[in-house]
Protein backbone atom coordinates (compact mmCIF):
# COMPACT_ATOMS: atom_id res chain seq x y z
CA UNK A 1 0.00 0.00 0.00
CA UNK A 2 1.92 2.98 -1.23
CA UNK A 3 -0.91 5.51 -1.71
CA UNK A 4 -1.68 7.23 1.64
CA UNK A 5 -5.15 8.20 0.43
CA UNK A 6 -6.10 4.59 -0.16
CA UNK A 7 -8.05 3.59 2.95
CA UNK A 8 -8.48 -0.15 3.58
CA UNK A 9 -12.05 -1.47 3.72
CA UNK A 10 -13.58 -4.58 5.22
CA UNK A 11 -14.05 -7.12 2.43
CA UNK A 12 -11.19 -5.83 0.28
CA UNK A 13 -8.75 -8.27 -1.33
CA UNK A 14 -5.04 -7.77 -0.68
CA UNK A 15 -1.75 -9.38 -1.69
CA UNK A 16 0.68 -9.99 1.18
CA UNK A 17 4.03 -8.29 0.57
CA UNK A 18 6.05 -9.26 3.65
CA UNK A 19 6.37 -12.22 5.97
CA UNK A 20 5.85 -15.95 5.71
CA UNK A 21 2.77 -15.60 3.50
CA UNK A 22 4.44 -13.25 1.00
CA UNK A 23 2.79 -13.33 -2.44
CA UNK A 24 -0.45 -14.91 -1.22
CA UNK A 25 -3.90 -13.33 -1.37
CA UNK A 26 -6.18 -12.61 1.58
CA UNK A 27 -9.18 -10.54 2.51
CA UNK A 28 -9.44 -7.79 5.12
CA UNK A 29 -11.92 -8.92 7.74
CA UNK A 30 -11.35 -6.23 10.38
CA UNK A 31 -9.77 -2.79 10.60
CA UNK A 32 -8.04 -2.39 13.96
CA UNK A 33 -6.81 1.21 13.60
CA UNK A 34 -5.21 3.48 11.02
CA UNK A 35 -2.17 1.21 10.83
CA UNK A 36 -3.27 -2.40 11.35
CA UNK A 37 -5.86 -4.74 9.85
CA UNK A 38 -6.78 -8.39 10.35
CA UNK A 39 -6.63 -10.59 7.26
CA UNK A 40 -7.69 -14.15 6.52
CA UNK A 41 -7.85 -16.37 3.46
CA UNK A 42 -10.19 -19.10 4.74
CA UNK A 43 -7.63 -21.81 3.99
CA UNK A 44 -4.24 -21.53 5.67
CA UNK A 45 -5.30 -18.52 7.70
CA UNK A 46 -8.81 -19.18 9.04
CA UNK A 47 -11.18 -16.47 10.23
CA UNK A 48 -10.89 -17.49 13.89
CA UNK A 49 -7.08 -17.13 13.69
CA UNK A 50 -6.88 -14.03 11.50
CA UNK A 51 -3.47 -12.40 11.07
CA UNK A 52 -2.82 -8.91 12.37
CA UNK A 53 -0.97 -7.14 9.57
CA UNK A 54 0.53 -3.68 9.11
CA UNK A 55 -1.21 -2.04 6.13
CA UNK A 56 2.20 -1.13 4.72
CA UNK A 57 2.90 -4.85 4.35
CA UNK A 58 -0.07 -5.56 2.08
CA UNK A 59 -0.88 -4.40 -1.44
CA UNK A 60 -4.49 -3.32 -1.80
CA UNK A 61 -5.98 -4.66 -5.01
CA UNK A 62 -8.91 -2.20 -4.99
CA UNK A 63 -11.32 -5.13 -5.31
CA UNK A 64 -14.14 -5.12 -2.81
CA UNK A 65 -16.00 -8.40 -2.39
CA UNK A 66 -19.61 -7.40 -1.62
CA UNK A 67 -20.58 -10.83 -0.22
CA UNK A 68 -17.78 -10.72 2.35
CA UNK A 69 -18.45 -7.11 3.31
CA UNK A 70 -22.20 -7.59 3.71
CA UNK A 71 -21.70 -10.77 5.75
CA UNK A 72 -19.33 -9.00 8.16
CA UNK A 73 -21.54 -5.91 8.44
CA UNK A 74 -24.76 -7.90 8.99
CA UNK A 75 -23.56 -10.75 11.23
CA UNK A 76 -20.16 -9.60 12.47
CA UNK A 77 -18.36 -12.55 10.88
CA UNK A 78 -17.74 -14.36 7.61
CA UNK A 79 -17.31 -18.04 6.80
CA UNK A 80 -14.02 -19.54 5.67
CA UNK A 81 -15.79 -20.99 2.62
CA UNK A 82 -16.97 -17.54 1.53
CA UNK A 83 -13.41 -16.19 1.81
CA UNK A 84 -11.96 -19.11 -0.17
CA UNK A 85 -14.58 -18.65 -2.88
CA UNK A 86 -13.97 -14.87 -3.14
CA UNK A 87 -10.18 -15.26 -3.38
CA UNK A 88 -10.28 -18.15 -5.85
CA UNK A 89 -12.77 -16.29 -8.04
CA UNK A 90 -10.46 -13.26 -8.13
CA UNK A 91 -7.40 -15.36 -8.95
CA UNK A 92 -9.23 -17.32 -11.66
CA UNK A 93 -10.58 -14.12 -13.26
CA UNK A 94 -7.15 -12.50 -13.35
CA UNK A 95 -5.34 -15.60 -14.64
CA UNK A 96 -7.89 -15.88 -17.47
CA UNK A 97 -7.38 -12.23 -18.45
CA UNK A 98 -3.59 -12.54 -18.36
CA UNK A 99 -3.65 -15.77 -20.38
CA UNK A 100 -5.58 -14.25 -23.30
Contacts 24+ apart (CB under 8 A), 71-77: 72/10, 72/11, 72/29, 72/30, 73/10, 77/47
Query: Between β-strands 25-31 and 12-16, what pairing exists: parallel, antiparallel or unpaired?
Result: antiparallel
Q: Is residue 55 helix, strand or coil?
A: helix
Distance of CA 1 to the CA centre of its chain: 13
Domain 12-94, CATH:
2.30.30.140
Could you read off the pLDDT tens digit of each residue along the chain, which spans 100 residues?
455 558 999 999 999 999 999 999 999 999 999 999 999 999 999 999 999 999 999 999 989 999 999 999 999 999 999 999 999 998 888 766 665 5
Domain boundaries, the chain: 12-94
Q: What is the pTM of this model?
A: 0.86
Among residues 15, 21, 11, the alpha carbon closest in space to that of 1 is found at 15
Amino acid sequence: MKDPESIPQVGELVRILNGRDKGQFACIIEILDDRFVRIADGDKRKVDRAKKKNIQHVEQLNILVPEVKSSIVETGRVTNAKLRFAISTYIDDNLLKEGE
